[in-house]
Structure 1
Amino acid sequence: MFRLCTVLNLICISFVSALTFANAQTSTPPSPSCASRSNTSCDECLQILTCLWCKTTEQCIDYPVRTILPSHNLCPLPEARWGLCWLNFQALIISVSVLAGVIVIAICVCCCCCCCRKSERTAGDKREDAKAEQQNQARKYRQEERRTEMKTRHDEIRQKYGLAKGNAYSRMENN
């Protein structure tokens, strides 16, 4: 559980530092506008991180930050390129969402496995404790039986040789 918390803390810290780094980059002096790179190449347009390349119109557009996804009127998703020229925006969204889903499922499975192991250990410990207690009780019972057996045998021997257990000096008085 401690390892999982540590991993989650590291993820949160790296996310916050990435956001801080992104904010620090946005405060840098403005770069050339995306519109000035229209009718050039995709590679040249995407050199600026805030630009979006539309393959059908060959236009370099400012990325619509407020809407997160570019509207269909601006550029259809299969034709939009951002970050990489060979990867369309629709494939990028699908691959990132699948990757995020796999990560979430993996974290859930890890949490479930950790919880199940802990409960199995607890149940196993209880079973082992019960078994050990049962063995201790059986040992005590056998030991008690042996004691009573030995006591009975010793009493028989004392009776046979006239050594009464009650009075230790009776043998000396008889002589």
Structure 2
Amino acid sequence: MAGVNTLSAFILAFIFFGVFITTEAQTSTPAPNTISVPCALRSNTSCSECLQNVTCLWCTPTKQCLDYPVRNILPPRSVCPLNDARWGLCWVNFQILIITMSVLGGVIIISILVCCFCCCKCERVGNKREDAKVERQTRARKSRQKAKRTEMQMRHDEIRQKYGVEKENPYARMDDH
């Protein structure tokens, strides 16, 4: 269970780091004069200069600054190959981003399934323990009842002997004697 907690903490830290990097990339304020410059005019400059505008996409091999194709989630290969496309940060390419997010998603799903499995297993073990406890209590109660019944029977027999009303036949009526 400690391994699952460590894994969960690692995943949360990794997600926090990713959100922090993404937020940092999106909140960096460009200079006022660079906002109005279209992406195409920033071609043949640098990646960092191109990505000052959030709507721009940098293609490394061609050194082109392009408008991000907003109709697609990922830029098509005809615009720029995923391995060479940069958006938000110059050091993050789309291919590595997709692989990382897929692995993260898989790890999160697997950890959720492991947690659910562990919880269900613990619940079943707990139910088995409760069932065994109830069964032990029932057996103990029955044995106490049996001991009390035997003790009562012995007391009744002693009283019958004392007053001479012993029964030879336990099914016979008392006033037949």
TM band (smaller chain): 0.5 to 0.7
User: One-letter code of the match for 1:71?
Assistant: P
Counterpart of 1:145 (choices 146, 150, 160) is 150
Cα RMSD (Å): 2.4
Determine the structure 1 residue equivalent to 2:63.
Answer: 58
C-alpha deviation, 1:36, in angstroms: 2.2
Counterpart of 2:106 (choices 101, 104, 109) is 101
**For residues 31 and 147 of structure 1, do their structure 2 counterparts lie closer, same or farther at Cα, with a shift above 3 Å needed?**
farther
Instruction: Calculate the TM-score normalised by the size of structure 2.
Output: 0.65
Task: Please tell me whether residue 118 in structure 1 is matched to residue 123 in structure 2.
Answer: yes
Paired positions, count: 133
Deviation track 1:96-133 (CA, whole Å, cap 9, x = no partner) reads 11111111221222222223323332333222212211
| Seq. identity, % | 45
Q: Distance in 1 between matches of 2:148 and 2:36?
A: 90
Q: Distance in 1 between matches of 2:121 and 2:53?
A: 49
Stretch deviating more after TM superposition (56-65 or 117-126): 117-126
**For residues 134 and 56 of structure 1, do their structure 2 counterparts lie closer, same or farther at Cα, with a shift above 3 Å needed?**
same
Determine the structure 1 residue equivalent to 2:76.
Answer: 71
With a CA cutoff of 8 Å and minimum separation of 6, indicate the structure with the bigger relative contact order.
Answer: 2
The 5 Å alignment of 1:1-175 reads 32-159=37-164
User: One-letter code of the match for 1:140?
Assistant: Q
Q: Distance in 2 between matches of 1:146 and 1:64?
A: 92
**For residues 79 and 158 of structure 1, do their structure 2 counterparts lie closer, same or farther at Cα, with a shift above 3 Å needed?**
same
**For residues 135 and 112 of structure 1, do their structure 2 counterparts lie closer, same or farther at Cα, with a shift above 3 Å needed?**
same
SS in 2 for 1:47: coil
C-alpha deviation, 1:52, in angstroms: 1.3
